Amino acid sequence: MDELTKIKGIGNATAAKLAAGGVDTFAKLAASNHEQLELLKIPGDAEDHGKFIAAAAELVPKTIDLNNATAEEVAAQAAKIETARLQLAQLADAVVLAHGHLQGLPADAAPELVADAQTSLHNARSLITAATKEACALLGVPLGAPLPAALLEELAPLAELPAIERPAVAKTAPPAAAEAQASAAPEVADAEERDRDIFADVPALEQDQAHAFLADVVDHARAAAASGEVPEAIAYLQQHRSELLVGQALLGELLEGINSEISALEEIQTTAPVERPVEVTATVDSRWRSGRQFTKAPTRFEAGELGSDELEALRGDPLLIVELL
């Protein structure tokens, strides 16, 4: 029913009388006449009733536009939900497959296989976490608020995945890199000691903030569960868990990359130093020096082109500007 009270002179009581007589929209009021309104005992004379009818006629196009816009918004929102649902369905399947692969590995599986499977699972969870955030942004759903039922149905299988009792495994380094890391153990220990000294004075504010954030997350999930929204609470907690797991995996990869880079640089350091070509740039007044004529423009000589005597003469002449590159 349109809000007939928007028309000046029509209050709640008059609107109720009109609705009781079947006139409950602007279009129906615009199509009525004085006699019909008089039969419904609508207050006012013919002039007043004419004003009501004219005002309703002006509001009819606006109501149609509003209804059309609302229908378009509903259709657009439904299309967005369907797009997000399909994406989450594919990513949820990837998580389930990665979880099953990791869970199906034998207890004596090679560490490399376990590490790869764990990384695949972390990456799959990372993708679905990012997709959930994108869906929230696309649908205008605040982070932490319940998702549409269609999306929760796709996330429900993730809540049923059993926990995998298997410690995280890091990929083993090649033998050469392992030996290099072992030889660099004292330097690494010294660096770690320096890091501890550097961070010793940092206040525990960040740790307190982390605990406060965790408390807020848990409280939100418990409140949702208490109100009967258990799937939403599980999905909310899984989202934060996935983010933490992804962060942990990324830190492990960064640490592995840094260790590998250190090993590579240490191998280079142990090899014989490579001699670099020496270039000499000389700028002098126009004159003869050691049988060579120099100009004010910089003159470059490749390594070995100048003899040692000439090089010493160039270096010792106060009129020369010599730069070794």
Say yes or no: 254 and 216 in one domain. Answer: yes
> Which of 19-28, 170-179, 207-216: highest mean pLDDT?
19-28
Measured between alpha carbons, how far is 78 from 141 in angstroms, rounded to an integer? 14
**Residue at 313 is within a domain:** yes
- Whether 299 and 257 have beta carbons less than 8 Å apart is answered as no
Say yes or no: 110 and 74 in one domain. Answer: yes
Average pLDDT over residues 117-125: 83
- For residue 143, the one-letter residue type is L
Paired strand residues for 294: 287
Query: What is the domain extent for residue 301?
Result: 280-324
Say yes or no: 168 and 284 in one domain. Answer: no
Say yes or no: 238 and 114 in one domain. Answer: yes
Average pLDDT over residues 200-219: 59
**Residue at 5 is within a domain:** no
Q: Count the helix, strand and coil residues of the chain and give each as a percent rounded to the nearest 5.
A: 65, 5, 30
The helix (H) or strand (E) run that includes residue 233 is helix 230-270
Beta-carbon contacts of 299 under 8 Å, excluding residues fewer than 6 positions away, are: 281, 282, 283
Say yes or no: 139 and 285 in one domain. Answer: no
**Residue at 263 is within a domain:** yes
Lowest mean pLDDT among 63-72, 79-88, 104-113, 269-278: 269-278
**Residue at 8 is within a domain:** no
pTM of the model: 0.35
- Whether 294 and 286 have beta carbons less than 8 Å apart is answered as yes
Which segments of the chain are extended strands (E)? 280-283, 287-289, 292-294, 299-301, 321-324
Say yes or no: 209 and 132 in one domain. Answer: yes
> Which of 39-48, 157-166, 203-212: highest mean pLDDT?
39-48
Q: How sure is the predictor about 250, in pLDDT bands with cuts at 50, 70 and 90? A: low
pLDDT reported for residue 179: 52
Percent of the chain scored above 70 by pLDDT?
57
Would you state the structure tokens that stand for residue 61, as one six-digit string?
């196009």
**Residue at 34 is within a domain:** no
Measured between alpha carbons, how far is 257 from 253 in angstroms, rounded to an integer? 6
pLDDT reported for residue 199: 38
How many domains would you assign to the chain?
A: 2
Measured between alpha carbons, how far is 211 from 221 in angstroms, rounded to an integer? 15
**Residue at 80 is within a domain:** yes
Encode pLDDT of 77-94 as tens digits.
Answer: 778 888 888 888 888 888
Question: 24-29 contacts: CB < 8 A, separation 24 or more?
Answer: 25/1, 25/63, 26/2, 26/56, 26/57, 26/59, 26/60, 26/63, 27/56, 27/60, 27/63, 29/4, 29/53, 29/56
Residue 15: Cβ-neighbour burial (10 angstroms; 0-12, 13-18, 19+): buried
pLDDT reported for residue 167: 64
Domain end residue (candidates: 242, 270, 298)? 270
pLDDT reported for residue 155: 80
Say yes or no: 95 and 136 in one domain. Answer: yes
Would you state the structure tokens that stand for residue 11, as one six-digit string?
């209050």
- For residue 186, the one-letter residue type is P
Q: How sure is the predictor about 309, in pLDDT bands with cuts at 50, 70 and 90? A: low
Paired strand residues for 322: 282
Q: How many residues appear in the chain?
A: 325
Residue 89 CB neighbours (<10 A):
16
Measured between alpha carbons, how far is 56 from 62 in angstroms, rounded to an integer? 10
Percent of the chain scored above 90 by pLDDT?
0
- Whether 14 and 56 have beta carbons less than 8 Å apart is answered as no
Say yes or no: 141 and 234 in one domain. Answer: yes
Encode pLDDT of 2-47 as tens digits.
Answer: 477 788 888 888 888 888 888 888 888 878 888 888 888 888 888 8
Q: How far is CA 23 from the centre of its chain?
A: 53
Say yes or no: 265 and 304 in one domain. Answer: no
pLDDT reported for residue 91: 83
**Residue at 209 is within a domain:** yes
Residue 293 has pLDDT above 60, yes or no: no
Name the residue with tokens 């929204």.
Answer: 229
Say yes or no: 217 and 313 in one domain. Answer: no
Say yes or no: 113 and 217 in one domain. Answer: yes
**Residue at 56 is within a domain:** no
Average pLDDT, the chain: 68
Say yes or no: 81 and 150 in one domain. Answer: yes
**CA-based end-to-end distance of the chain:** 86
